[in-house]
Structure 1
Amino acid sequence: MRYFFKSLLKHYAFYLGGDQPTVAWVERWRSVFGAFIGLLLVFTTAKFLGELGGIGEWLMASLGASALLVFVLPQSPMAQPWAVIAGNTLSALVGILCFQLLGDALITLPLAVALSILGMFILRCLHPPAAAVALIAVLGHVGHYRYAFFPVMVDSILLILVGAIYSNLTGKSYPNKPLR
């Protein structure tokens, strides 16, 4: 009976995070602190720029997910500057266009995400949090393209800059160097 429960636990542990790699605590804290400092700097700068320009929208909600990729998985192809900046900006543009053409119809949400994914495939800038940017544009009834450039593109650029500085100061190479 004991063997049965042990093998059952081992079999199902995979579905409870057993497939996640073990990460040293020093690396965990490096990533957590980096995400905190990075987002604090990005949000502070974006808020200042928004107030300076008289723009109410200065925050991109999916930036937390982008920060996870940039600070926790900096070697991932989906965390590289082109993926983050182009993926987020493209998805915002697609979401805005879908909202302008279709309004807040139910079909607008999945269409905006699907077209964003297609665009990211074409431009080779797959970035999972960017799919949420398309949803945010539709759900937020964003009808002006300025939103794609500020806050979305500007926040993405700021995140990449802070991520690069922080990663390189703490011994992680970011962004990836091209293969020769």
Structure 2
Amino acid sequence: MKHTLERFIKHYSFYLGGDQPAVSRVERLRSCAGAFVGLVLVLTVAKLLGEFSGIDEWLMASLGASALLVFALPGSPMAQPWAVIAGNTLSALIGISIAILINQPLLAMPIAASLSIMGMFILRCLHPLAAAVAMIAILGHVTHYRYALFPVLIDSVLLVLAGAIYSNLTGKVYPNRPK
């Protein structure tokens, strides 16, 4: 009975995070501190730019999730500058276009997300959170292309810069360099 229970627990622990690699406390703290410092810097600069330009929309809602990739998984192909910047910007452009063309959110959101995924495949800039950027444009009724430039492009560039500075200061190489 005990052997069966252990096998059952081991088999199903996969579905409860059993496949996640162990991460040291130091690396956890480095990642969390980086995300905090990076987001504070990005949000502060973006807010100041928004106030300076008179634009109320200065925040990209999926920025926190992108920060997870940039600061906790800086070696991931999906956290590299091209993926973050181009993936988010392309998806914003697609989401805005679909918001303009299709007035039904339940149809527009999956179309925008799937087209943004296709676009990211074509441009080789897969960034998982970018598909959410396309859907956010639909949910927010965003119909002006300026949104793709500010906040999406600017926030993405600022996040990548903050990630590069922080990671390299704390001993992580970011972005990845070709070998």
Q: Same fold (TM over 0.5)?
A: yes
Q: Give the structure-1-normalised TM-score.
A: 0.98
Tell whether 2:35 aligns with 1:35.
Answer: yes
1:105: how far off?
4.0
Q: State the partner residue of 1:73.
A: 73
Q: State the partner residue of 2:99.
A: 99
Q: State the partner residue of 1:146.
A: 146
Q: State the partner residue of 2:57.
A: 57
Identity across aligned pairs (percent)?
A: 70
Q: State the partner residue of 1:169.
A: 169
Q: State the partner residue of 2:24.
A: 24
Give the distance between the partners of 2:55 and 2:155, measured in 1 at CA: 14
Give the distance between the partners of 1:178 and 1:106, measured in 2 at CA: 41
1:6: how far off?
1.3
1:40: how far off?
0.6
Give the distance between the partners of 1:171 and 1:28, measured in 2 at CA: 14
Amino acid in structure 2 at the alignment position of 1:120: M
Give the distance between the partners of 2:76 and 2:6, measured in 1 at CA: 35
Q: 1:71·1:163 contact (CA, 8 Å) conserved in 2?
A: yes
Q: 1:117·1:126 contact (CA, 8 Å) conserved in 2?
A: yes
Q: Give the structure-2-normalised TM-score.
A: 0.98
Q: Which moved more, 1:98-107 or 1:158-167?
A: 98-107
Q: 2:105·2:138 contact (CA, 8 Å) conserved in 1?
A: no
1:116: how far off?
0.3
Tell whether 2:109 aligns with 1:109.
Answer: yes
Amino acid in structure 1 at the alignment position of 2:2: R
Aligned runs of 1:80-95 on 2, under 5 Å?
80-95=80-95
Give the distance between the partners of 1:59 and 1:147, measured in 2 at CA: 10
The alpha-carbon distance between structure 1 residues 8 and 118, as it changes in their structure 2 partners (threshold 3 A), is same
Q: State the partner residue of 2:158.
A: 158
Give the distance between the partners of 1:54 and 1:104, measured in 2 at CA: 30
1:42: how far off?
0.4
Tell me the secondary structure at the aligned position of residue 159 of structure 1.
Answer: helix
Q: 1:46·1:58 contact (CA, 8 Å) conserved in 2?
A: yes
Which segments of structure 1 move beyond 3 Å, counting only runs of 4 or more?
Answer: none
Structure 1: stretches of 5+ with no match in the other structure: none
1:157: how far off?
0.2
Q: 2:78·2:126 contact (CA, 8 Å) conserved in 1?
A: yes
Aligned runs of 1:7-18 on 2, under 5 Å?
7-18=7-18
How many residue pairs get aligned? The number is 179
Tell me the secondary structure at the aligned position of residue 130 of structure 1.
Answer: helix
Structure 2: stretches of 5+ with no match in the other structure: none
1:9: how far off?
0.9
Give the distance between the partners of 2:11 and 2:107, measured in 1 at CA: 40
